[in-house]
Structure 1
Amino acid sequence: MHLPPLPTIREIIRIYKLGSIKRLSQNFLLDTNITHKLVRSMGRNLTGAHVCEVGPGPGSITRPLLEAGVEHLSVIELDKRFIPSLQLLSKASGSRMSIYHGDVLRFNFDQIFPDTLSRPWEEHPPKIHIVGNLPFGVSTPLIIRWMNAIADRNQAWRYGRTRLTLTFQKEVAERMIAQPEDEQRSRLSIMTQYLCDVNLKFVINGRSFVPPPEVDAAVVHFTPRVEPLIPYPFKVVEKVVRHVFQFRQKMCKRGIQTLFPPEQVSMPKEMIALAEIDPETRSFQLTIDEFSRLCGAYMEICRKNPGIIDYYFRDEENAPSWKYQRPSSI
């Protein structure tokens, strides 16, 4: 679906004087071969799909999305300097594009997709996609926030198993797909893989961006799983995984100990025993199944010991009100 003749993205940047802002981690992707490849990596057929692009900037990915035949494209842009160039694209698209000026970290996706697209979670994903060339500075907190929404099935995931196709710093992308024993395995590996099927589609050389960052980037595709691999609340999983990876090169028992007050020396041992984990295993060697057992064991201990769930070892003064209660006699 071709757009009418328009200035090139390079010309748009020159006409509107859209220099990148370093503090916003802005790096423009101007190679049309790569932007079209990124759009193709979203799936074979986008005709009739509703897509949300985060951080469109001057519109280098926006154009191939519109040309792919999407039914409607919503874009979320924080930098108001880009709004006029995006309005130019919106007009050229024949009203198939909506522009939202705001911070994607605070954006609510509840109302931008029609309810008619909703599908039961167990069925095939809806014709809804989220795509974006993310600023490296916000990519990690944003993907954790979206994993939380996937776990709770709200925002863009109240419509079903909405897919994502996003760019990350190559090292971050490699962490997301890292398997046990891989030195890259981290908290991100567990938090993304337990909720989604995660695939690294291709690597983008840093020289393809303007200005070129010091690192390469990679495109990652996420499809939410019908059933999460860890069947416990997101906040519990995130807390256990974060603590276990506090000391990723040390034995996992060291991170487990930080989940409990120092005086409760028996609780870490109880958690390890309940989970049937080798306490000398390093965090990056643990499988998702082992993390699942650790989460279940932690929840069991918290159930028997009210108040433990609110303990934060790094910030006891400012953490939520915590008061340890002795176990009941049950």
Structure 2
Amino acid sequence: MSRANTHGKPSYSASGHQHKKQFGQNFLNNDGIIRQIVNAIHPQPDQHLVEIGPGEAALTTPLVQQVKRLDIIEIDRDLHQPLRNKLGHYPAFALHQADALSFDYAQLVTDNQPLRLVGNLPYNISSPLIFHLLNYLDSIADMHFMLQKEVVERLTATPGHKAFGRLSVMVQYYCEAELLFIVGPQHFDPPPKVDSAIVRLTPRRPLPYQATHLADFAALVKQSFAMKRKTLRNNLKGWLDDADYAACDIDPSLRAEALAVADFVTLANHYTQKQKDT
């Protein structure tokens, strides 16, 4: 289980593997924290798990012994043989050399069984990777990730909180997001400069609010937060006018961070209908 390396000089794990900055490698090394993560995931014998970035298999080892199948996505070829040597004898083990940011997760689904994703995601790819994974939610039962604490706070933020933004809205439209616990830097080798946290993302089925046109919804949310200190009226100038806000019963003098996810769906659906009518 790896983590972003924020140090400039090369560093090595206890086994001699050089941590690679471009892959964001800091390895979890605390058995108590690993047990806590496994308990949070609560893997079952008939389940299909996918681990992104196993590193030196700190989390992989207890998981592969408990589930029917564990697919591992690892971009660093230097870790492949050590992983095969350590875990290749387990029937559940399957290793994929791939970039998690472009991997097709739907291809892993067998017997229509949803995937459970886990991983200690590098800081530098966490947000784009989560956006990528939102495309595969039909194939996913849940996700347990270790991320930079600040990112988890953004994922779980509520309207009116300073951390509430585009990532909050897009993820919470699709998923329930829950911060489980915080992990300090001393539990990694080498230690990063910030705290980490475990988040659980559970796809909403069915969606409580349905955007008519997902591309319009995503674009409107992005534009609403284009300049966080500006109001909706300013950020969405050319998109919606005061009559549109009145029809949606939403105050255009508010900043985007004050709106609930349902409000963004209402605005986006109104915008989509407006485009059809013109």
Q: Same fold (TM over 0.5)?
A: yes
Deviates more, 1:133-142 or 1:202-211: 202-211
Match in the other structure for 2:52: 54
Shift of 1:110: 2.5
d(CA) in 1 for partners of 2:241 and 2:76?
47
Opposite residue 267 of structure 2, the aligned amino acid is L
Match in the other structure for 1:74: 71
d(CA) in 1 for partners of 2:25 and 2:98?
16
Opposite residue 259 of structure 2, the aligned amino acid is L
Match in the other structure for 1:149: 136
**Paired residues of 1:75 and 1:98 also in contact (CA < 8 A):** yes
Number of equivalences = 266
Match in the other structure for 1:290: 263
Check if 1:271 corresponds to 2:244. Answer: yes
Superposition misfits of 4+ residues, deviation over 6 angstroms: none
Deviations 1:149-200 (A, max 9, x none): 32xx3xxx2xxx5211111110110011111111111111111111111111
d(CA) in 2 for partners of 1:82 and 1:298?
49
d(CA) in 1 for partners of 2:232 and 2:112?
47
**Paired residues of 1:195 and 1:229 also in contact (CA < 8 A):** no
Alignment match of 1:195 (pick from 148, 170, 174)? 174
Aligned to 1:273, the other structure's residue is in SS state: helix
d(CA) in 2 for partners of 1:116 and 1:226?
16
Deviations 1:260-318 (A, max 9, x none): 4xxxxxx433432332210111111111121111111110122123xxxxxxxxxxxxx
Listed as ranges, the matches of 1:112-123 within 5 Å are: 112-117=108-113
Match in the other structure for 2:62: 64
d(CA) in 1 for partners of 2:257 and 2:180?
23
Shift of 1:13: 4.1
Opposite residue 99 of structure 2, the aligned amino acid is D
Structure 1 residues 149 and 234: alpha-carbon distance in aligned structure 2, compared to 1, 3 A threshold: farther
Match in the other structure for 1:122: none
Greater RCO (Cα-Cα under 8 Å, separation 6 or more): 2
d(CA) in 2 for partners of 1:171 and 1:36?
23
Match in the other structure for 2:34: 35
Check if 1:164 corresponds to 2:161. Answer: no
Aligned to 1:246, the other structure's residue is in SS state: coil
| Coordinate RMSD, CA, aligned | 1.8
Match in the other structure for 1:104: 100
d(CA) in 2 for partners of 1:79 and 1:129?
22
Aligned to 1:274, the other structure's residue is in SS state: helix
**Paired residues of 1:206 and 1:213 also in contact (CA < 8 A):** yes
Structure 1 residues 256 and 137: alpha-carbon distance in aligned structure 2, compared to 1, 3 A threshold: same
Opposite residue 269 of structure 1, the aligned amino acid is D
Larger-gyration structure (1/2): 1
Opposite residue 78 of structure 1, the aligned amino acid is I
Shift of 1:250: 2.1
**Paired residues of 2:102 and 2:132 also in contact (CA < 8 A):** no
Alignment match of 1:181 (pick from 157, 160, 176)? 160
Check if 1:19 corresponds to 2:6. Answer: no
Unaligned ranges ≥5, structure 1: 1-11, 118-125, 261-266, 306-330
Shift of 1:116: 4.7
Opposite residue 149 of structure 1, the aligned amino acid is Y
Match in the other structure for 1:219: 198
Structure 1 residues 210 and 268: alpha-carbon distance in aligned structure 2, compared to 1, 3 A threshold: farther
Opposite residue 79 of structure 2, the aligned amino acid is F
**Paired residues of 2:181 and 2:198 also in contact (CA < 8 A):** yes
d(CA) in 2 for partners of 1:148 and 1:76?
17
Alignment match of 2:187 (pick from 205, 208, 216)? 208
d(CA) in 1 for partners of 2:27 and 2:156?
25
Opposite residue 236 of structure 1, the aligned amino acid is D
Shift of 1:18: 1.0
Shift of 1:253: 1.3
Opposite residue 59 of structure 1, the aligned amino acid is A
Q: Counting strand residues as a fraction of each chain, which structure ranks higher?
A: 2
Check if 1:304 corresponds to 2:267. Answer: no
**Paired residues of 1:170 and 1:217 also in contact (CA < 8 A):** yes
d(CA) in 2 for partners of 1:254 and 1:287?
18
Opposite residue 44 of structure 2, the aligned amino acid is L
Aligned to 1:240, the other structure's residue is in SS state: helix
**Paired residues of 2:106 and 2:136 also in contact (CA < 8 A):** no
d(CA) in 2 for partners of 1:110 and 1:149?
6
Match in the other structure for 2:3: none
Structure 1 residues 206 and 271: alpha-carbon distance in aligned structure 2, compared to 1, 3 A threshold: farther
Unaligned ranges ≥5, structure 2: 1-11
Deviations 1:80-112 (A, max 9, x none): 01001110133342x320100010111112232
